[in-house]
Amino acid sequence: MCGIVGYIGSKNCIPIIIEGLKRLEYRGYDSAGIGFIENNSCRVIKNKGKVSLLEKKVAEGVYSPSVGLGHTRWATHGEPNEINAHPHYNADKSLMIIHNGIIENYQTLKTILINAGYEFKSQTDSEVLAHLIDSFLKKGNELFKAVRLALAEVEGTYGLAILYDKEPDKIIVAKKGSPLVIGVGDDENYIASDVSALIAYTSRVVYIEDGEVAEVFRDGFNAKTILDEDINKEIHKISMSLEEIDRGGYETFMLKEIMEQPESVLNSMRGRLLFDEGTVKLGGIQNLAERLAKTKRIIITACGTSWHAGLVGEYMFEQFLRIPTEVEYASEFRYRNPILQPDDAIFFISQSGETADSLAALKEAKRKGALVLGICNVVGSSIARESEAGVYIHAGPEIGVASTKAFTSQLVVLALITLLIARKKDMSLIDGQKIVEEFQAIPEKIKTILKLNSQIEEIASKFRDAKNFLYLGRGYNFPVALEGALKLKEISYIHAEGYPAAEMKHGPIALVDENMPVVFIAPKDSTYDKIVSNIEEIRARKGRIIAIASESDNHIDNLADFTIKIPDTIRMLMPILTVIPLQLLAYHIAMKKGLNVDQPRNLAKSVTVE
């Protein structure tokens, strides 16, 4: 999510770090910071906003340190501002850290450290690492050991880099779940969260693996496991171009983001599932859970893909909470003079948090006194700031214009909210625990689906010249049909419609002939028999059928021209799985037509105009 870069050698590290940060800026861009050691003391310069602002701020002084770190932030805990930007100091400013990832047990660690007399300056989870390492330095450990001892107490993910003015000739790095590489030079070394930040200087890299810690010197490095075991690291030669590296080796950002979903979905749940209590912890709305359980009506407001996530949310809320729920297009909601009651709760779902229609609808709801809650990806975005409370989806920056990983993370968060409130209502502990287990299994199931990529590409090759597409689903998978159709039309420019499967008989069936591809989302759930009847109806009219079906379903192979088999889960979570083949199908059809999927014509990533 965020970007890390660092240098130790004989040159002035500042221009090297600023250049590296600029290369990483596309993945996190709400604030930036640089820290270095000069004349044996640490110095940090940071600001809210772009790396170019940081560059100007640094240029106001005269520095030429030969060891330093830089960070560009995509906020997860604490709004984007100068204090929350990295690096973070320990109390006497002898040590600084930069961190990517999420420290899941930061509240527990923070309480222990506060009780031990540590004061916190920021709202970040990362700052605990500075004080925790400091506490081990105070016990007489040298830095490398202090870091290993501290990390043994940390739960969560990190790509971490540390400087300490009492040991000024080294950078310590550590990794668990967030990438970190060492770039090997001649009497100089680099560190980065991504090879793109250092490829301009060296093509020799060492990949730090989970559970490893390394001390990086000017003329070499030394790696160990957190448990103090020695390890030998291999130096790899990079042959990718810069552009390929930015996209993580994928051909496009969209494919990268589709493939990232096991991880992004996990990040949306990280630290939030409480198996023993059969519920979840959602810091942003925890203290509103009782009030939400008593809400008489929920309204979900959003645009585009986020609106489709809202429709899935409606099924979740009505099934488990038994609270009447309405889903509104933000643009319609705001101009309709909506009727709002004091005990209504309104959720605004927005990846960017900047969509003009959603923001204006939010302001209108606020004016009318409703409880306004945000579900956003971009921390500190306008919708997040204007909401009374909310839940971040933590999907990480989404660069491809067509939303993919943000959608699945929105679904995860809506399901988490459902579980939180349902457990305040009448859901039993056992039922809550079963749902938590299903959540935990989702990332692996997504991985299984992603392995079907080449099968789906093969199917896509048959449909590149199609002029129209129909997408049909029932229940929870009706919004998925809408989302599948939207994905296809926005990146392939093929006309596509999503419908509730049974509605097809009331009009769209007139379109069906041997040239009409029809995608059925037909997992084995309570609507399965009905959807099979709909498939038969399309077959009878010679439509070409692509079915997204359950692994265990052999019958459907006889009905569909193409089947894509996916694992099962509970109905509420099924859309997180069923949408993935549709993302890949749209993607491959568009690529086979030679189109630019990352920047489709006429579209913008953040629609800040009405």
Catalytic residues: 2, 605
Query: Is 351 one of the binding residues for ligand F6R (CB under 6 A)?
Result: yes
Smaller CB separation from ligand F6R, 279 or 382? 382
Please identify which residue in the block is written with the tokens 């008989």: 505
Contact string 448-487 vs ligand F6R (x = CB under 6 A)? --------------------------------------x-
Given a contact cutoff of 8 angstroms between Cβ atoms, the answer to whether 108 and 85 are in contact is no
Residue nearest to ligand F6R (CB): 304
Contact string 293-322 vs ligand F6R (x = CB under 6 A)? ----------xxxx----------------
Given a contact cutoff of 8 angstroms between Cβ atoms, the answer to whether 487 and 456 are in contact is no
Smaller CB separation from ligand F6R, 111 or 608? 608
CA torsion sign for 263, 200, 45, 383 is negative
Task: Return d(Cα 422, Cα 430) in angstroms, integer.
Answer: 12
Q: How many CB atoms lie within 10 A of CB 167?
A: 18
Three-state secondary structure string covering 52-76:
HHHHHHHHCCCCCCCEEEEEEECCC
Given a contact cutoff of 8 angstroms between Cβ atoms, the answer to whether 449 and 577 are in contact is yes
Query: Is 409 one of the binding residues for ligand F6R (CB under 6 A)?
Result: no
Query: Number of residues in contact with ligand F6R, rule: CB under 6 A?
Result: 15
User: Which 490-509 residues touch ligand F6R, going by CB under 6 A?
Assistant: 490
Smaller CB separation from ligand F6R, 196 or 358? 358
φ/ψ of 88, rounded to 5, equals: -110, 140
Q: What one-character-per-residue DSSP string does 134-149 give? A: HHHHHTT--HHHHHHH
Q: Could you tell me the smallest distance in angstroms from the CB atom of residue 267 to ligand F6R?
A: 17
Task: Return d(Cα 317, Cα 560) in angstroms, integer.
Answer: 33
Q: Could you tell me the smallest distance in angstroms from the CB atom of residue 443 to ligand F6R?
A: 22
Smaller CB separation from ligand F6R, 355 or 418? 355
Smaller CB separation from ligand F6R, 184 or 496? 496
Q: How many CB atoms lie within 10 A of CB 194?
A: 22
Smaller CB separation from ligand F6R, 212 or 257? 257
How many residues can be counted in the chain? 610
Q: Could you tell me the smallest distance in angstroms from the CB atom of residue 169 to ligand F6R?
A: 46
Q: Could you tell me the smallest distance in angstroms from the CB atom of residue 406 to ligand F6R?
A: 7
Please identify which residue in the block is written with the tokens 């790899």: 236
φ/ψ of 544, rounded to 5, equals: -95, 120
Smaller CB separation from ligand F6R, 279 or 331? 331
Strands 273-274 and 279-280, by their bridges, are: antiparallel
Which one of 46-54, 268-276, 344-352, 553-561 is the stretch in contact with ligand F6R (CB under 6 A)? 344-352
Query: Is 100 one of the binding residues for ligand F6R (CB under 6 A)?
Result: no
User: Which 570-609 residues touch ligand F6R, going by CB under 6 A?
Assistant: 606-607
**Dmax over Cα atoms in the chain, in whole Å?**
81
Which one of 251-259, 351-359, 422-430, 589-597 is the stretch in contact with ligand F6R (CB under 6 A)? 351-359
Q: What one-character-per-residue DSSP string does 202-265 give? A: -SEEEEPPTTEEEEEETTEEEEEETTS-EE--PPEEP---HHHHHTTTSSSHHHHHHHTHHHHH
Residues ≥6 apart with Cβ < 8 Å to 370: 299, 340, 341, 342, 344, 345, 346
Q: Could you tell me the smallest distance in angstroms from the CB atom of residue 223 to ligand F6R?
A: 41
Helix (H, G, I), strand (E, B) or coil at 436: helix
Name which of 199, 206, 239, 238 is nearest 222 in CA terms.
206
**Among 90, 358, 409, 492, interactor with ligand F6R by CB under 6 A:** 358
Q: Could you tell me the smallest distance in angstroms from the CB atom of residue 600 to ligand F6R?
A: 9
Query: Is 402 one of the binding residues for ligand F6R (CB under 6 A)?
Result: yes
**Among 355, 387, 527, 550, interactor with ligand F6R by CB under 6 A:** 355
Query: Is 350 one of the binding residues for ligand F6R (CB under 6 A)?
Result: yes
Q: Could you tell me the smallest distance in angstroms from the CB atom of residue 486 to ligand F6R?
A: 6
φ/ψ of 268, rounded to 5, equals: -70, -25
Residues ≥6 apart with Cβ < 8 Å to 396: 1, 27, 74, 260, 264, 267, 377, 405
Task: Return d(Cα 306, Cα 607) in angstroms, integer.
Answer: 13
Given a contact cutoff of 8 angstroms between Cβ atoms, the answer to whether 317 and 298 are in contact is yes
Query: Is 263 one of the binding residues for ligand F6R (CB under 6 A)?
Result: no
Q: Could you tell me the smallest distance in angstroms from the CB atom of residue 455 to ligand F6R?
A: 24
**Which of the 8 DSSP states describes residue 318?**
I
Please identify which residue in the block is written with the tokens 């950078």: 171
Q: Could you tell me the smallest distance in angstroms from the CB atom of residue 393 to ligand F6R?
A: 10
Q: Could you tell me the smallest distance in angstroms from the CB atom of residue 608 to ligand F6R?
A: 10
Smaller CB separation from ligand F6R, 402 or 435? 402
Smaller CB separation from ligand F6R, 67 or 486? 486
**Among 403, 409, 578, 583, interactor with ligand F6R by CB under 6 A:** 403
Smaller CB separation from ligand F6R, 124 or 261? 261
Residue numbers at the binding site for ligand F6R (CB under 6 A): 303-306, 350-352, 355, 358, 402-403, 486, 490, 606-607
